[in-house]
Amino acid sequence: MGANAVNGAASAVAFAAPAVTMRDISVDFTRDRNTIRVLKDIDVAIPTEAFIAMLGPSGCGKSTLLRVVSDLVRPAKGSVSVFGKSAVEARRNREIGFVFQDATLLPWRTVIDNVRLPLEIKEGASRIAGSYSPEEMLALVGLDGRHNAYPHELSGGMRQRVAIARALICRPRLLLMDEPFGALDELTRDKMNEELLRIWRETRTTILFVTHSIAEATYLGQQVMVMAANPGRIRETVPIDFGDDRSPAVRDTPQFLAYTARLRRLLEAH
Amino acid sequence: MVADTMQSIAPRFKWSSVFLSYPALLTLIVIVAVWEGAIRFFHVPDYIAPAPSVVALELVRQLPNLAVNVVPTLLEALGGFAIGNLSAVLIAVAMVRSPFVEKCFYPIAVFIQSVPMLAIAPILVLLFGTGYTPKVTVAALICFFPTLVNMVRGLKAINPQAFELMRVLSASNSEIFFKLRLPSSLPFLFAALKVTAPSAMIGAIVGEWIGSRYGLGAMILEATYNFRAPMLYATIFVATSIAMALFGIVGLVERRIIRWRVGDVY
Ligand SMILES: Nc1ncnc2c1ncn2[C@@H]1O[C@H](COP(=O)(O)OP(=O)(O)O)[C@@H](O)[C@H]1O
Ligand SMILES: [Mg+2]
C-alpha cells in the first residue's frame, strides 16, 4: 500500500540506485521491563537526490527511523542499506549528515569552529570524498560575516543555518533532518524552507526531512511519507507534484491546499 | 555660568546611586554603626567585644605583623587549593571514563568527606610534622570533595543530542571527551572552584591552629589566649578579605572563559 517510495513525482530519479533502502525494519525499546515495538515492518526505498518529507504525530517513531538510518539505533529485525552499504559503513564514511531539532551547537565554540567540528574528527576523515571549507559552507547557508559570533549571540534561525553548514561540510550524500525548524517562528521557518530547497538544488544531497507540519512537508517534499503511531508504521506515501514550481507562492495555490487537506485526512485516520 | 555647565556635564559622585546598585553596602554601614553605638552605649570592654573603630586602629597598628603572617597562610591555602582541586579533577575524569574506578574511589571519597577536619588535623601533624605539609593537606582535603562531586556531575551532564552528533560523526571516546565532556563540565568546575577558594583559607587556618608558630591561624590563637580581642577581629577581617579576594579572582577567570549560559540549548 504505497509504502514503497519509488513512484510518482520522483520518477525522474527513480531508476538510479536508491540512497536508502529499508527492508522489513522493526525497532523495539524496552522500558520498565516492557518491550514496545516502536517501528513495525518499515519498507522504504529513498531515491538518490530526492527530497522526502516524513510526516507523523509525535511519538510515532520518526526520530527513531532517522536514527536507524544513521546507525544510532540498531533495528530488532530487518536490514538498512545506505548507498548500497551498511548504515555503519555509511556513517564511518561520513556519507550521512544529521540536523537535530535544536541546532546543538557547542556553545564554547564560535560559529566557524562549530562548522569545522566534523573536520576535526579523525575517524573517516581520510575517507571523505572532499570537504568544503568552513567559509564556503557559511556562505552557502547565508551566514557570511558572523564567523566569530558565539551561538548565544545568534537567533534560532541563524543557529540552524550553522547546524546545516556543519552537517554538509563533509559533503554527505544523505542529509537527515529531524524537525529542524520546529522551534522557529512561522516567518523564519518559511524563509528557512526556501533556503533549504536552494541548498538542496545546489548540493544535490538526498534529504530525508522529518516534520509534524503539514504545510512544511507539502512545500518541501517531492514525496510525503505519512506515518501512523502504535506501532510506528508508514501509512501512505503521497507524491507531491507542482511541476518545477517551488516558489513560495505555490503555498497559496488551490493545488497546495488540496495536498494539505489530503495529508491531514491521512494523519487523522485511525 | 561656565562653572555651572561644567558641573552639570561632569559625572558627579552620588551616594544615592552607589546604594541603589549595592544595597548591601547600606546594610553593612548600618550594622557597623549599630555595633559601634551599642559597644559605646553599654561600655563593653575591648577584651570582650571591641568597637569597629578600635578594630580598625588595631588593624593599622598590626599591619606589618599581619603582612608577615598572611604570606604562609596564603601559600598554604593556594597550595591546598591547587593540589585538592587538581586531584579531584583527575580522579573525576578517571571515574567518568571507568565505572570500575568510580566504584573503587567513590565510597572512599565519601568517607574522606565525612571525616571532621578539626579531628584529622592532629593526625596530619603527627604524620607530617609542623611544617607546611599538614596545613596544605588540610586545605587540599577540604577542596577535594566538592570539586570531585561537581566535576563528575559536569562530565556526565552532556547534551544528549550533542552526544548523538558526535556519534554520527564517528568520534572516538577521547574525541568525545575532549571536544564535548570536558568543555561541558567547565561551568560545574568553576562552581566548585568558587566554593573551594574560601574553603582553602579555612583549611590552612585550621591546620595552623593545631601546630604552628606562624600564619593567620597562629595569630588568632595568640590573640585569643591573651584576650586581645581587637587583634583577633583584625586578623579575622584580613582572613575574610583574602578569602573573598580568592573567590573574586575565580569569578573573574570564570567570566572570561565561560561565555555561554548553562542549561541553555543552542
Ligand atoms: N531510547 C528510548 N528508549 C525507550 N523508548 C524510546 C526511546 N527513544 C524513543 N522511545 C519511544 O519510542 C517512541 C517513538 O519515539 P520517537 O522516534 O522519538 O518519536 P517521534 O520522533 O516521532 O516523536 C516514543 O513512544 C518514545 O517514547
Ligand atoms: Mg522526534
Q: What is the mean pLDDT of residues B136-161?
A: 93
Grid cell, residue A148, equals: 566569530
Residue B25 and residue B107 in one domain: no
What residues have CB less than 8 Å from B197, skipping those under 6 apart?
B81, B243, B246, B247, B249, B250
Is A60 near ligand 1, meaning CB less than 6 Å away?
A: yes
Residue B64 and residue B159 in one domain: yes
Q: What is the mean pLDDT of residues B200-222?
A: 92
Q: Are A25 and A42 in contact (CB under 8 A)?
A: yes
Residue B22 CB burial class (10 angstroms; 0-12, 13-18, ≥19): exposed
Q: Over the stretch B164-194, which tens digit does the pLDDT of each residue have?
A: 999 999 999 999 999 999 999 999 999 999 9
In the reported structure, the alpha carbon of residue A101 is separated from the centroid of ligand 2 by a whole-number distance in angstroms of: 8
CB-CB neighbors (< 8 A) of B176 in chain A: none
Residue B35 and residue B8 in one domain: yes
Write down the mean pLDDT value for chain A: 90
**In residues, how long is chain B?**
266
A12 pLDDT more than 60? no
- Higher local confidence (pLDDT), B107 or B195: B195
Q: Over the stretch B53-65, which tens digit does the pLDDT of each residue have?
A: 999 999 999 999 9
B118 pLDDT more than 60? yes
Residue B23 and residue B106 in one domain: no
Residue B117 and residue B20 in one domain: no
Taking the CA of residue B156 and the nearest CA in chain A, the distance in Å comes to 16
How far apart are the C-alpha atoms of A261 and A245, rounded to whole Å?
A: 20
- Higher local confidence (pLDDT), A107 or B129: A107
Element at B93 (helix H, strand E): helix B63-97
| pLDDT, position B117 | 79
How far apart are the C-alpha atoms of A65 and A27, rounded to whole Å?
A: 9
For this complex, say whether ipTM is above 0.85.
yes
Give the range of the structural domain holding residue B21, as residue numbers without chain letter: 2-42
The letter for the amino acid at B255 is R
Q: Over the stretch A39-95, which tens digit does the pLDDT of each residue have?
A: 999 999 999 999 999 999 989 999 999 999 999 999 999 999 999 999 999 999 999
Note whether residue B47 is domain-resident. no
The letter for the amino acid at B77 is A
Note whether residue B135 is domain-resident. yes
Q: Report the first-to-last Cα separation within chain B, whole angstroms.
A: 56
If pLDDT is split at 50, 70 and 90, which confidence band does A127 have?
A: low
Is A29 near ligand 1, meaning CB less than 6 Å away?
A: yes
CATH code assigned at B203: 1.10.3720.10
**In residues, how long is chain A?**
270
Write down the mean pLDDT value for chain B: 90
B3 pLDDT more than 80? no
Neighbouring CB atoms inside 10 A of A38's CB total 23
* Contact yes or no for B180 and A106 at CB 8 A: yes
Residue B23 and residue B132 in one domain: no
Q: Over the stretch A153-191, which tens digit does the pLDDT of each residue have?
A: 999 999 999 999 999 999 999 999 999 999 899 999 999
B209 pLDDT more than 60? yes
How far apart are the C-alpha atoms of A160 and A133, rounded to whole Å?
A: 18
B163, B168, B176: best to mutate for the A interface, most A CBs within 10 A = B168
In the reported structure, the alpha carbon of residue A96 is separated from the centroid of ligand 2 by a whole-number distance in angstroms of: 18
Note whether residue B220 is domain-resident. yes
Q: Over the stretch A232-262, which tens digit does the pLDDT of each residue have?
A: 999 999 999 987 778 888 999 999 999 999 9
B6 pLDDT more than 60? no
B255 pLDDT more than 60? yes
Note whether residue B7 is domain-resident. yes
| pLDDT, position A10 | 44
B5 pLDDT more than 70? no
Residue B70 and residue B126 in one domain: yes
What residues have CB less than 8 Å from A219, skipping those under 6 apart?
A193, A246, A250, A251, A256
Strand partners, A28: A37
Residue B100 and residue B206 in one domain: yes
In the reported structure, the alpha carbon of residue A163 is separated from the centroid of ligand 1 by a whole-number distance in angstroms of: 23
In the reported structure, the alpha carbon of residue A47 is separated from the centroid of ligand 2 by a whole-number distance in angstroms of: 23
Q: Which atom of ligand 1 is nearest to the CA of A67?
A: 17
Q: Over the stretch A131-143, which tens digit does the pLDDT of each residue have?
A: 789 999 999 999 9
| pLDDT, position B19 | 83
Which of B172, B183, B266 lies closest to A105 in CB terms?
Answer: B266
What residues have CB less than 8 Å from A161, skipping those under 6 apart?
A141, A142, A143, A192, A195
Is A64 near ligand 1, meaning CB less than 6 Å away?
A: yes
Using DSSP's 3-state secondary structure scheme, residue A224 falls into strand
A129 pLDDT more than 80? no
B10 pLDDT more than 80? no
Q: Over the stretch B32-41, which tens digit does the pLDDT of each residue have?
A: 999 999 999 9
Note whether residue B163 is domain-resident. yes
Say which range, A30-39, A118-127, B166-175, has the weakest mean pLDDT: A118-127
| pLDDT, position A125 | 67
Residue B111 and residue B160 in one domain: yes
Task: Say what percent of chain B tops pLDDT 90.
Answer: 73
Residue B239 and residue B144 in one domain: yes
- Higher local confidence (pLDDT), B198 or B6: B198
How far apart are the C-alpha atoms of A142 and B109, rounded to whole Å?
A: 52
| pLDDT, position A240 | 94
Residue B17 and residue B127 in one domain: no
Secondary structure letter of residue A251 according to DSSP? G
How far apart are the C-alpha atoms of B82 and A265, rounded to whole Å?
A: 65
Note whether residue B182 is domain-resident. yes
Note whether residue B10 is domain-resident. yes
What's the whole-model pTM score? 0.85
Return the axis-axis angle of helices B229-257 and B63-97, rounded to nearest 10°. Answer: 40
Pairing verdict, β A174-178 and A34-47: unpaired
Total domains, chain B: 2
| pLDDT, position B260 | 81
Residue B89 and residue B201 in one domain: yes
Note whether residue B72 is domain-resident. yes
Residue A200 CB burial class (10 angstroms; 0-12, 13-18, ≥19): buried
Q: What is the mean pLDDT of residues B191-211?
A: 94
Helices (H), chain A: 62-69, 87-92, 111-120, 134-140, 156-168, 186-203, 214-220, 254-268
The letter for the amino acid at A130 is G
Secondary structure letter of residue A244 according to DSSP? B
Secondary structure letter of residue A152 according to DSSP? G
Q: Are A16 and A206 in contact (CB under 8 A)?
A: no
Taking the CA of residue B97 and the nearest CA in chain A, the distance in Å comes to 19
A33 pLDDT more than 90? no
- Compute the 3-state secondary structure of chain B and give helix, strand, coil in percent, each to the nearest 5: 85, 0, 15
B74 pLDDT more than 80? yes
